[in-house]
Structure 1
Amino acid sequence: MAATDARTRRVWTAVVFLAVAAGGAALQARGALVPSFQTAFTVSESQLGLITPLGTIGFVGPVVIVGMLAGRLDIKRTLVVGLVLTSAGLVLIGLAPSFVALLAFVAVQSAALGIVRALDRPILSHLHPENRGRMFSLETMSWAVGATLGPFLVTWVLTVGEWRLTYYLLGLPYLVIAVLAWRSDFPDHVTSERSFSREDFRPLLSRPTILGMGLALILVGGIESTIFSWFPYYVTQFLPRSAANLALSIYLAAYVPGRLGFSFLADRASPPDVVLVAATALVALLGVLFGAGGLGRLPFFAVTFGIGFFVSGFFPLLLTWGVAVAPDYTGPVNAVAMVSTQVGFLIVPAAVGVLADVYSIGQAMLVLLGLAVCLVALLGGRRVTGLAGSGP
């Protein structure tokens, strides 16, 4: 029986990690394809800036609803439905006949993915209660592996065909993962997630730690979404297209060692203190990136790697901080974390697109530095503002 339980835990951990890796590949392929979208549909930078917010709008609803209801749902069946719908959504993006259709299909695919992402961390939290912080970091490391491969996939596809092939290929892994999940026994103890009601929501949000986590993750979402959405386009202003996609891959590749390293700190050190140190380092690196002027290619790639390394730890560590005060409500806490991050995704890339139209993409990217400074101020002053405690 113990061997069977161990095998079941390994299988479902693999299901979660593979689904998250596939999501990382799909998201970063979208960022690398922004120039292709502009060419294919003849749209402006402001219009391109709508892609990430529309995906965010589609994503948030299912994350909130499914996350809050995680204690009442048939988790296995709901997850499989989300995986299949995500696969279908990716294929539809590849078939989009117009930019308006592309935006609509991005929202549909994002909504399906929201179902999956609302359940992945509750599953991990109850599979690995003794080291959930480490598992959250390793899960996000699997996302980074997929995300690193996404731009490489785009580069390869563009050498053999048109951009639409990317989405047909990205849809396949989700079907495979759905079959694996459907054919596998579901561990009973994962159903220990407590039922969450509307009356529980206000007390949860009133906890200082949950509030601090949410505010910090809005800033983190803005930082990550700006890099994901605009970094390749920004780099094409001074490097060839192939080098721009390579720069994004280098940034994402840094997430792998970064999240592996932070996974060892997640359950051994204060998560917000670790994020504070990493955010301070990020401010310094962004200052070099934007202030040095004319960095050579190798120094530019080295700074890009460093930025990715430190940003990689933000989300899993901040989520660990929040879940630690309400482990029986992992689904709702995960929903708060995901929605907070998506607020940043919703607002900042669109704002950067508008600023790029009015000024330049180089000036618009300075938003990153402002967000990083705000993150340092928030975490550095959390004891003064009352965000350090766990609350009632």
Structure 2
Amino acid sequence: MVFLVNFARVVFASLLDPIAVDFQVDEAALGAVATAAWFGSALPRVPTGYLLTKVPRHHVVLGSGGLLVGAAVFTSFSPTLPLVTLGAFLLGLSSGVYFIAANPLVSELFPGGVGRALGIHGTAAQLAAVGAPLFVVAVLVLGDWRLTFRLLAVAGVFATVAIYGAARRADLPDAGSEDRDLLGAARAQWRIVLTGVVVVGTVGFLWTGLFNFYVRYLSQVKGIAPGTGNLLLTLLFAAGVPAFFLTGRLADRFPNVPLLLGVVGGFLCCVLLLTLTGGFWPIVALTAVMGYVVHMLFPVADTYLLASLPDHHRASAYTAYSASAMIVQAGGSVVIGRLVAGGLPFDTVFLGLVGVVGAVLAAMVALHLTGRLPAGRVPGEADSSPAGETT
């Protein structure tokens, strides 16, 4: 299921060109479509977190599967761009519901290796991002872009039925049974939640806009054909597969905050180099490195929060973090699209955002060095240690 819900929100990066041709629209309108999927992923997270105080996690996961199927069918038959945008929003909703329910569930199923389990879960999600551009290329040979969502709906039906069968047979944990106060958890764990929001939200703002416009950027600025650009987009996501798998293990073994801040710095260097790099093969190499580095961020951030938050606050505090961070990063595509449509070059926009995120990174490093950032769990500590009490 994680493969499908992530596919639903990243596939628009590969579909922007055929959608632009079909509806004759510019970057601003395309940015709104891509942003709708990410805003959709952000908005249900707090309501879902509240729902989890009343309903078992696996029931909510099943509900996300039903929503995915319905949204995919709706998008596949949408005759206008506003309805396609609404379909993207609904597909995003399914992913937001899923991740809020599934990530805490995964961490509770494997309390002795949270980073490893989240890394494997993230790897499965990342395989969807890797396969999406290639899948779109194959679909466009067979039909139009709408076929993508019809096939997604069919796969969603099978995945939902499979999860239902697995949940009936599994011995599910009750570690989060006392997590019944969403606002109380957010207040109690506000320091670690805010740290995650600031770091992941600002980096995600730049990253979401970058990958959604990556094919068009390569075509318009670097002179790389859209077909080749889709292959490079595939490489950008493919580099994330080993990043998820290996970084989850690193996060179990090393202090999370220095690792998190180091990843942010590495990603900013990659974006800066992208604006300065010419030539096909240097761009290929940089694409691979940038894809690996940015995808290290997510297993480290999730481990930082989920391994540090106590059982009675885990899902609710994670909801507060995830919803807030997603709202911040969701606007990346529409802002970049509007700035480019307004006449600013892609490189100027990217460099400006590197400066903004770099300023945030400098502030976070200063806070960490002065002991004012939550350190999270020390590797080897019990998973139930309260977050935010160590600095």
* TM-score (norm: length of structure 1): 0.88
The one-letter amino acid of 1:391's match is G
Structure 2 spans left out of the alignment, 5+ residues: 376-386
Question: 174-183 or 189-198: which moved more?
Answer: 189-198
Which residue of 134, 143, 149 corresponds with 1:167?
Answer: 149
Aligned to 1:14: none
Amino acid at match of 1:349: S
For 2:259 and 2:362, the matched residues in 1 are separated by 14
Structure-2 separation of matches of 1:349 and 1:152: 22
Q: Pick which of 265-274 and 106-115 moved more.
A: 106-115
In the alignment, which residue of structure 1 is the partner of 2:330? Answer: 346
Partner of 1:11: none
Residue number in structure 2 paired with 1:388:
374
Name the CA distance, whole Å, in 2 between partners of 1:46 and 1:107: 16
Shift of 1:327: 3.4
Instruction: Please list, as runs of the form range in 1=range in 2, the aligned pairs for 1:247-286 lying within 5 A after superposition.
Output: 247-286=232-271
Q: Does 1:231 align with 2:214?
A: yes
The CA deviation string for residues 188-223 of structure 1, in whole angstroms up to 9 with x for no partner, is 5423213332551452343x2222112111113213
CA–CA separation in structure 2 for the residues paired with 1:187 and 1:367: 49
Match of 2:109 among 102, 107, 127: 127
Structure 2 match to 1:304: 287
Q: d(CA) in 1 for partners of 2:318 and 2:72?
A: 24
Q: For 1:1-392, list aligned pairs within 5 A.
A: 19-184=1-166, 185=168, 187-193=170-176, 194-206=178-190, 208-237=191-220, 238-292=223-277, 295-328=278-311, 329-358=313-342, 359-374=344-359, 376-383=361-368, 384=370, 386-389=372-375, 390-392=387-389
Contact 1:38 1:44 in 2 (8 A): yes
Measure how far apart 1:290 and its partner are. 0.9
Answer whether contact 1:69 1:196 (CA < 8 A) is retained. Answer: no
Aligned partners of 2:117, 2:280: CA distance in 1, in Å?
Answer: 35
CA distance in structure 1 between the partners assigned to 2:285 and 2:198 by the alignment? 30
Q: Which moved more, 1:183-192 or 1:37-46?
A: 183-192
- Please tell me whether the aligned partners of residues 89 and 105 of structure 1 are also in contact (alpha carbons under 8 angstroms): yes
Please tell me the residue identity of whatever aligns with 2:216. Y
Render the CA deviation track for 1:136-183: whole Å, top value 9, x for unaligned.
122111111111000000111112211111111122222111111112
Q: Secondary structure at the match of 1:182?
A: helix
Which of 70-79 and 27-36 deviates more?
Answer: 70-79
Cα distance in 2 between the residues matched to 1:364 and 1:135: 36
What secondary structure is seen at the aligned counterpart in 2 of 1:50? helix
- Conservation of the 8 A alpha-carbon contact between 1:221 and 1:343: no
Q: Which amino acid aligns with 1:43?
A: V
C-alpha deviation, 1:378, in angstroms: 4.1
SS of residue matched to 1:211 = helix
Letter in 1 for 2:246: G
Structure 1 pair 333–80 and aligned structure 2 pair: CA distance change class (3 A): same
Give the stretch that moved more between structures: 34-43 or 360-369.
Answer: 360-369
The offset of 1:385, in angstroms, is: 7.3
Deviation of 1:227 (Å)? 2.5
1:387 alignment partner AA? L
Q: Distance in 2 between matches of 1:391 and 1:262?
A: 23
Q: Once the 2 structures are TM-superposed, how far is the Cα of residue 49 of structure 1 from its aligned partner? A: 1.4
* 1:220–1:344 Cα contact (<8 Å) kept: no
Q: Confirm or deny: 8 A CA contact 1:137 1:313 kept in the other structure.
A: no
Change (3 A) 1:57 1:289: closer
More helix by share: 1
> Does the CA-based 8 Å contact 2:31-2:336 persist in structure 1?
yes
Task: Name the stretch that deviates more: 362-371 or 176-185.
Answer: 362-371
Q: Which residue is 1:16 aligned to?
A: none
Counterpart amino acid of 2:156?
A: Y
C-alpha displacement of 1:91 = 1.9
1:28 CA drift (Å)? 2.6
For 2:16 and 2:373, the matched residues in 1 are separated by 38
Q: 1:200 to 1:154 in 2, by over 3 A?
A: same
Identity of aligned residues (%): 21
Given that residues 205 and 329 in structure 2 are in contact (C-alpha distance below 8 angstroms), is that contact kept between their aligned partners in structure 1?
A: yes
The answer to whether the 8 Å contact 1:121/1:330 transfers is no
What amino acid is aligned across from residue 151 of structure 2 in structure 1? L
In 2, distance between residues paired with 1:29 and 1:152? 10
The gaps in structure 1 that reach 5 residues or longer are 1-18
Aligned-pair distance for 1:282?
A: 2.2
Deviates more, 1:107-116 or 1:299-308: 107-116
Q: Give the conservation status (yes or no) of the 8 Å contact 1:217–1:337.
A: no
Deviations 1:28-64 (A, max 9, x none): 3211111111111112211111123322333223221
Structure 1 Cα separation of the partners of residues 61 and 51 of structure 2: 13
- Residue by residue over 1:229-250, the C-alpha shift from the partner in whole angstroms, topping out at 9 and shown as x without a partner, is 1111111211111111111101
State the aligned residue count: 371
CA distance in 2, matches of 1:371, 1:312: 20
Displacement after TM superposition at 1:324 (Å) = 2.8
Aligned counterparts of 1:220 and 1:173: Cα–Cα separation in 2: 31
How many angstroms does 1:369 deviate by?
A: 2.3
